[in-house]
Each structure stands twice: as C-alpha cells, then as structure tokens.
Structure 1
Amino acid sequence: MTDALPTRLRPTAEDASVTQLELFFDLVMVFAFTQVTDLAAHESSVLNLLRAFLVLAVMWWVWISYAWLGNVVQADEGLARVAMFAATGAGLIIALTIPEAFHSQPGGWHGPLVFAVGYLVVRLIHLGMFWLASSHDRQLRAQVVRWAAGSITIGTSLLIVAGTTTGTAQVWLWIVAVAGDMLWTLFAGNGWRLNSAGHFAERHGLVVIIALGESIVSIGVGVAGLSISGPIVVGALLGLAVSGLLWWAYFDVAAKVVERVLKRERGERRAQIARNCYTYWHFPMVAGIAGLALGLKKLLHQLGGTEGHTIHEALPAVPLYALYGGVAVYLLGLVGFRHYATRVVLWPRVLAAGVLIALLPAAVGMPAIAALGLLCAVLAGLIAWETVRYAQPRDAVRHAE
C-alpha cells in the first residue's frame, strides 16, 4: 500500500496506537455487551443462552471487522472518519435492537429484520472502505474480493432471511449464518495486511477490558435498588476478585508474549497469528466473560434477598453453569491464544478449567455465595501457582526492554 490512497485515506503506521475515534466506536460495544447480558438474563433457559451467544457472535464480528480496518487505514483521517461515524450509528441501531433480535415487540418496526438490515449496513461500509484502501494493493484487493464473495453472502443474507422467520428455523438460520461467516473468513486466504502489530494487540486488549468492565457493571445492576448488606458486600468483592484474576491471567504475561511474536513475524504467518489468536481465540474469552457477567448479575440479585431468596439458597442451574462455564471457556481461550503463537500449552490453565467443570455438580447444591467463593479460590490458586512457579520467565517477559 502507498500513501497515495483515494479520498485522503492514510495508511496506519507501524508504531500507531488506538485512536480516540476507535474508542468512541467501542462505546457501542460497551452498550451491546450490556444488552446481551440483559437478553441472557431475561429467561433462564438453554435456548435463551444460545440466542444471546449468537447475538454476541454477530456483535463480535462487527467489532473485529473495524479492528482490522483501523489497522490498514487510520480511523480518524479522511473518508475513514466519516465511515467510522456511520458504522457507529448503524452499530448503535443494532445494539438497540438486541432485545428484539429474535422476537419483535408490538407497536414498532419488525425487530429481527431491523437488526439484520443494520448488520448489513455495517458490513457494507466496512467492505467499501477496504475496497478503497486496497486500490493500490493487488494482493489485498484479491483477498477482499475472495472474502466478500462468501462472507457477505452467508453472514448477512441468512440473517435477513432469519428476520422473516420464527422458532426453530430462525435459530438454525442464525447458527448457519454465524458459523458460515467465521469458517469462510478462516479459509478465504491469508492475504490480509497488518500494518501495526502494537495497534492490533492494544485494540484487542481494550475489548477484553470492555468485557471485564461489563462483568463489574453486572454486579451493580444485580443489586440496583437493594439495601446494602453483608452478603451483598461479600458477593460484590468476590465478583470483583474473579474479574481481577481474569484480568491478571490475560495482561500479566500472555498478552505481552503473543504481541511480541506478532511483531516479530512477517507476511502470511503474521496475518495468520492476527486472525487466529485475536479474531478467533479472543471470541471465547469475550463470550466467557459474558457468561461470568450473567452469573454475577443473577447471583448478586439473589443475595439481596429479592423474591423471597435467602443467602443459603443455591444459584439456579443456568446462571451457575454460565458462571463456572464462562470462566472455564475464558481460560481455554487463553490457552489457545498462547498456543497458536508460541506452540506452548498452558497446562495449569487447562487443569483449572477442568477442575471448574468437575466442581459444577457440587456447586449446584451450595449456597450461591459459597459457589462464588469456590470459583474465586480456584482462580486465586491458579494465579498464585503460576506466579511462583514461573517467577523467573515471568519477570523476564514483564521487564524485557
């Protein structure tokens, strides 16, 4: 790519940082996470959890598309700035429609179709900007054409069809749309450009922070309007500790190690690491945090003694499985993230995820606050063991010049 891009587009420099406009765009993602958690909490059923997961996958694909775009052209320069504002507006409409993504409410537009059309608009803006950005780069242009031929057709068309249906058929259309889009992107080629490894890694670190922030917000939402009490204080601090430990598991070493590998690689291998480690392995991390947020919201609400609940009651099965399963999925996502870049398997994290799954039958019968305390203890034990066991290499990674 050269500097002579059309409509005053500027290539992203190698030493670029995330722009303020990209952070503004991320505010839509903050709202979308809240909406997805509310959708999952609306009904305690596996089907409803599946719907929330599918909506989260679509919103992830919206976000990831513009993370790649902002790494090719500066998001706040020339026509890219206008495109980012337009995409932010369309993204907001999508986020507003999340509660109606599967069932339209009476008195307004048909929610599922509005969601799908908003998604189409976001994708077309993204495609148009990549088309312009690749005007002097034949390899990138070929990659964009190859990707768009299937991704736009599968992802957006099927969602539009799903917007006109209901029931089981609608859910299956969503599943095929999401899975088809992700698989097509995986096999469409490695001709993408990554101008700044630092920008790309920073961008994804910020989305992890956004997701963790939603887990903390869920604590507050769970106790909104309730009188402060001992169980609420203990539950809130335990929930915060769990979120903090997940932060530690990502940012202490793993994020730094993979970023350095990404900076060192070139060509197709660099594009593969960016796609597989960040586009794909970050999604289970974000989905896992969303499960944690749902569990914390339900748990704190229950600890407040609402609807006749007491602190001695167990958490219902669905939010408990979201709580434990979400953390386990997050840990496994981190394992995959690190392994693809370095070929190192973080076995302690695999073991910790397995322990959490094994503890689920016992946690089902525990008081909710005890189940949360047990989850926190497993994570604290994992982080403490890694910190002591790998003290020397950890110090080398964290303080390398």
Structure 2
Amino acid sequence: MAFAAASDQLAEHLAAGTIWPAIGAFVFAVWAVSWAWLNYSWFASAYGNDDLLIRATTIVPMIGVVVLVYGLPVSFDTAARGESPNNLLMVVGYVIMRVPLIALWLRAANQDPEHRRNALSYVAIISAAQVGWVLTAVLPLPATATVLLIVVLALGEMVAPAIATRRYGYSPWNAGHLAERFGLLTLITIGEVIAGTVAAVGALTQEKGWSPEAVLIIASGVLIATAVWWTYFLVPSRLVLEARPERTFSWRYAHLALFGSIAATGAGLHLYLSFFLR
C-alpha cells in the first residue's frame, strides 16, 4: 500500500514537472517504509516466537504505515514547493512503526544474556533516532537544514547497527528466515506494480476504450514484473547468507534500492499512461 501510494505520487508530480523534488520525496518515503520493515524482519529472524507480544508488535507497525501513507501527499506537495518533504504525519507514522521494536529488543536483552549488549545497542539506536525524527518535524528549521538533518538521521540509522554489530556481535539471525521475509516483500512490491498496471489500464480504457496503448501498458507491466521476479529468485539468497554471513548487512541494505526501483517502475507505467490521457 505504501509503495503504491508513493509510486502514484511520484508519477503525478513527475507529470507536473517537479522532477527532483518528487524523486527526493519518493526516496524518503520508500526508505522510511523499507527501513522499518527491514529492521522488524531482522529482529524476528532472531527472536520471533509468535507469542502475543510479537503479534501485537506486528499489528502496530501496520497502523504506522497507514498513518505514514496519509502524510505522503503533503510530503510531495511541500517538496514541490521547495520545502522539506518531512511532515509530522509521516514522522508519527514512522515512529509508530519503530517504537514497538524497543520493547522487543528490551525483552531480548532480558532473556538472552549472551546477546544482551547487542540487543541494548539496538534499543539505544532506535530510541535516539526517534527523538531525532520528531525534532525534524517540530523544530522550525529552514528547509535545507531539515533535509540535511533527515539525510544524517537516515545514514545514522543505517551505519549505527553495523558499527554496534562489529563491536558486540550479531544477534542469532536465521538465513532461511531472512531470505524468506525479504523475498515475500519483493513479491508484494512486484504485486503493486501489477496492481498499478491494472489501475492504469482501467483508467485509460474508461477514458478512451481499448487501444494499442492500453495493450502496450499492460503487457509492459506484466513483462517487467515477471522479469524482476525471475531475476530476483535466480539468486539463492539463503545459501549465500549461510556461506558468507559477513555480507548480511550489504545484502539487507541492497534491498532498499531494490524495493524503491520496483515501486518506481509502477510510477513509470502511470507516467506513461498520463501522456495518453492528455
């Protein structure tokens, strides 16, 4: 849902000519959703026991995604006006997605003494980051300063876990579980490209009826989605992670660009459609 919403906003603003602000807002949105999901999957790979707390903290981030999605139109509109793509609604949604992990890592620290320092490092990193994100939304900073702070916070959230892991060791993650979870979100993102294609063709046929352009759009969407799915699952991720665990972080972070690229494909199809509706 969030990827599809960001994709729609990207296509709309690219069609309006606000190219770089739209791309910036899109990257910000995709990063926020992907990073929150990636970190939950990392925790669940190590400590997901499917009890009440795990299930509750799975539902809460879903609520956060919904809140964040409602902030996306504001984010793209303000970026188009040369202002920061950040807004309080997006930040609240992001914080809702991230805060449950603090409780989960605290429980892991209590129940797994061997990896306590690693778990507590995640508690500190997530807590400090959320304070920073709230400050970006409430402080009356100039747009440039806010954007710079956003970039610093995002980079900090990605770099700090790698540093902490090098110092305190890995949590007991599972390669098979990670490969499955990341593959599932890849499939979901590809599904949103298909859904976007269907919506685009539906709008086109309602306006002008079936045409060669409509057939081209739907064929392109299906072909691109199939190619991405085929290519992604050619790589035996579980085997790679088991054989080269030191590459886990680079493998995880590469998915940030992957999810954004797949979602941007849907935006391209919508943009292509807009030229035929004019």
User: Same fold by TM-score, threshold 0.5 exceeded?
Assistant: yes
Q: 1:118 to 1:198 in 2, by over 3 A?
A: same
Aligned residue number for residue 300 of structure 1: 273
Aligned residue number for residue 156 of structure 1: 130
| Alignment pair present for 1:52 and 2:34 | no
Aligned residue number for residue 103 of structure 2: 128
Q: Distance in 1 between matches of 2:179 and 2:11?
A: 31
Tell me the CA shift for residue 157 of structure 1. 2.8
Q: 1:197 to 1:103 in 2, by over 3 A?
A: same
Equivalenced residue count is: 259
Q: Distance in 2 between matches of 1:35 and 1:149?
A: 31
What SS is found at the alignment partner of 2:210?
Answer: coil
Q: 1:75 to 1:95 in 2, by over 3 A?
A: farther
TM-score normalized with structure 2 length: 0.83
Aligned residue number for residue 205 of structure 1: 183
The aligned amino acid for 1:72 is A
Aligned residue number for residue 81 of structure 2: none
Spell out the pairing of 1:207-356 with structure 2 (5 A cutoff).
207-226=185-204, 227-251=209-233, 253-254=234-235, 256=236, 258-264=237-243, 270=245, 272-277=246-251, 279-302=252-275, 305-307=276-278
What SS is found at the alignment partner of 1:90?
Answer: helix
The aligned amino acid for 2:274 is H
Q: 1:133 to 1:147 in 2, by over 3 A?
A: closer
Q: 1:229 to 1:41 in 2, by over 3 A?
A: same
Aligned residue number for residue 171 of structure 1: 147
Is the 2:190–2:225 Cα contact (8 Å) retained in structure 1?
yes
Q: Distance in 2 between matches of 1:37 and 1:235?
A: 16
Spell out the pairing of 1:2-13 with structure 2 (5 A cutoff).
none
Tell me the CA shift for residue 63 of structure 1. 0.5
Deviation string for 1:4-39 (max 9, x for gaps)? xxxxxxxxxxxxxxxxxxxxxxxxxxx111111122
Structure 2 gaps, min length 5: 79-85
Q: 1:161 to 1:195 in 2, by over 3 A?
A: closer
Is the 1:103–1:112 Cα contact (8 Å) retained in structure 2?
no
TM-score normalized with structure 1 length: 0.59
Is the 1:156–1:177 Cα contact (8 Å) retained in structure 2?
no
Is the 2:175–2:242 Cα contact (8 Å) retained in structure 1?
yes
Q: 1:236 to 1:301 in 2, by over 3 A?
A: farther
Q: Distance in 2 between matches of 1:218 and 1:85?
A: 25
Is the 2:189–2:262 Cα contact (8 Å) retained in structure 1?
yes
What SS is found at the alignment partner of 1:163?
Answer: helix
Q: Distance in 2 between matches of 1:133 and 1:218?
A: 40
Q: Distance in 2 between matches of 1:100 and 1:75?
A: 38
Q: 1:112 to 1:102 in 2, by over 3 A?
A: farther
Which of 132, 140, 157 is equivalent to 2:115? 140
Larger radius of gyration: 1
Is the 2:105–2:120 Cα contact (8 Å) retained in structure 1?
no
Structure 1 gaps, min length 5: 1-30, 105-110, 308-401
Q: 1:249 to 1:163 in 2, by over 3 A?
A: same
Q: Distance in 2 between matches of 1:282 and 1:83?
A: 23
Deviation string for 1:63-115 (max 9, x for gaps)? 012111221233632321222222322332223322234668xxxxxx91132
Is the 1:143–1:192 Cα contact (8 Å) retained in structure 2?
yes
Aligned residue number for residue 83 of structure 2: none
RMSD across aligned C-alpha pairs, in angstroms? 2.3
Tell me the CA shift for residue 194 of structure 1. 3.7
Spell out the pairing of 1:97-108 with structure 2 (5 A cutoff).
97-101=71-75
What SS is found at the alignment partner of 1:228?
Answer: coil
Is the 1:36–1:55 Cα contact (8 Å) retained in structure 2?
yes
Deviates more, 1:200-209 or 1:156-165: 156-165
Whose helix fraction is larger, Structure 1's or Structure 2's? 2
| Alignment pair present for 1:181 and 2:154 | no
Is the 2:13–2:76 Cα contact (8 Å) retained in structure 1?
no
